[in-house]
Chain A
Amino acid sequence: MAEESITVVPVAREGEAIPIAVGLHVAGKRPVVSIQNAGLYEAGDALRGLAIGIGLPLVMFIGYRGHNRKGDTPDSAAVFLEPYLHMWRVEYFVVEGDEDLDRIPLAFDRATKTNMPVAVAIGTEYAPEDIE
């Protein structure tokens, strides 16, 4: 998993991730946020004020915990993710398998063009062979 061109900033809670990304963007870096759906709910006020509120071009990779293609899940973290993103008017793309990977560059394009945060929801069924 180690990718030398990427510096990982581990955070104690997801609400820190968005403002840290703000600072990195201000300093000329290209941050992304990588958190789970439950963490995105925790980060709500940061998403409001410090991503949407400032027009931050940020791609957020969101682990879609509880998601399955049947659409039948007991996990409320999955049930509320897409309604939550709609509520914030955050554009998003769902990646469920390799065939969806072209949605990731699209997400970066949309974030840059709109100066807004864009989410990429990673379905839990998606587990490429080279990632353990």
Chain B
Amino acid sequence: MISYADACRIINEHRGESAAVTTMTQSSYWNKVSEHPDLDMGISNGMSKASSVALGIALGDPERKVLCLDGDGSLLMNFGSLATVAGMAPKNFHHFVFNNGIYAITGGQPLPETGVHYADAAKACGYKATFKFDDLESFENSMAEIMAIDGPTLIELVVTPEPATEGVDQTWESNAKMPRQLRAMRKHLTGKDDWGPGGPFI
């Protein structure tokens, strides 16, 4: 198994100017290593939809690589998105799936089925290339090659589960974070600072 910290560190080393869309446990580890917060998007209030937001960014900004740091539970909930991604076939879309077998954020309940092979499923749906790693060394040695090939790619990482011991942070301030991040990323990608406040949090 690979640790969240190692997985995020290695992805970050190969990130370049990629946009990164993260969710759940991946977000907290990613935020510790990322040096480009303006290109980061942590999806915290949209169950399972990180991969769909990432797809939208990839289609809207085809010259920039988009990395999605998804979870297995999230992908199971949004499984049809594999076909949606394959249908649009964005070359700049790289889908990392952190397979921990549990719903970590809600305390570690097991997934309905822990034997799903996400890399195989993505391949069957039409992703251009898929990979599965359960040891750090193989992943680390392959990452440069993976990032050099055209997407859509899916990279399944078997990670050590880290069930949350506390509830999700739901404050006015924590909920304002995602809307602010989205505006910052739009400003960074388009050069336009034209998305004003809206919604309950900002």
Chain A interface (Cβ < 8 Å from any Cβ of B): 7, 9-13, 15-16, 18-29, 31, 45-46, 49-50, 52-57, 114-116
The yes or no answer to B143 lying at the interface (CB within 8 A) is no
The yes or no answer to B199 lying at the interface (CB within 8 A) is yes
The yes or no answer to B31 lying at the interface (CB within 8 A) is no
A-B contact count (CB 8 A): 137
- Contact residues of B between 2 and 53, Cβ < 8 Å to A: 21, 41, 43, 45-50, 52-53
* 19 pairs of residues in contact across A and B, judged by CB atoms under 8 Å: A9-B55, A9-B84, A10-B84, A16-B55, A20-B55, A20-B56, A20-B84, A21-B56, A22-B52, A22-B53, A23-B53, A25-B60, A26-B41, A28-B190, A45-B47, A52-B200, A53-B175, A53-B199, A55-B198
**How many of chain B's residues touch chain A, expressed as a range?**
35 or more
Across the two chains, which residue of chain B brings its CB closest to A43?
B49
Query: In the complex, which residues of chain B have a beta carbon less than 8 angstroms from the beta carbon of A55?
Result: 179, 197-199, 201-202
Chain B interface (Cβ < 8 Å from any Cβ of A): 21, 41, 43, 45-50, 52-61, 78, 80-81, 83-84, 87-88, 175, 178-179, 182, 185-186, 189-190, 192, 195-202
Query: In the complex, which residues of chain A have a beta carbon less than 8 angstroms from the beta carbon of B195?
Result: 25, 57, 115
B60 pairs with A24, CB closer than 8 A: yes
A115 to B81, CA, bound (A): 27
Contacts known (A9-B84, A12-B80, A56-B198); A23 close to B189, Cβ less than 8 A:
no
Which of A21, A26, A31, A56 is packed against the most chain B CB atoms within 10 Å?
A26
Contacts known (A53-B200, A54-B178, A115-B199); A19 close to B56, Cβ less than 8 A:
yes
A16 to B59, CA, bound (A): 14
A54 to B78, CA, bound (A): 20
Query: In the complex, which residues of chain B have a beta carbon less than 8 angstroms from the beta carbon of A46?
Result: 46, 49
A11 to B52, CA, bound (A): 10
A10 to B59, CA, bound (A): 13
Taking a contact as CB atoms closer than 8 A, the residue among A26, A49, A53, A116 that contacts B56 in the complex is: A26
A27 pairs with B190, CB closer than 8 A: yes
Across the two chains, which residue of chain B brings its CB closest to A16?
B52
Contacts known (A27-B61, A53-B175, A115-B196); A16 close to B78, Cβ less than 8 A:
yes
A29 to B178, CA, bound (A): 19
A75 to B58, CA, bound (A): 38
Across the two chains, which residue of chain B brings its CB closest to A13?
B80
A27 pairs with B189, CB closer than 8 A: yes
Contacts known (A12-B80, A16-B81, A45-B46); A28 close to B56, Cβ less than 8 A:
no
A50 pairs with B53, CB closer than 8 A: yes
Across the two chains, which residue of chain B brings its CB closest to A12?
B80
Instruction: Report B49 CB to chain A, min CB distance, Å.
Output: 4
Query: In the complex, which residues of chain A have a beta carbon less than 8 angstroms from the beta carbon of B50?
Result: 19
A-B pairs with lowest CB-CB distance, top 7: A23-B56, A55-B198, A115-B198, A27-B60, A12-B80, A55-B199, A19-B52
Taking a contact as CB atoms closer than 8 A, the residue among A7, A23, A29, A53 that contacts B54 in the complex is: A23
A45 to B46, CA, bound (A): 7
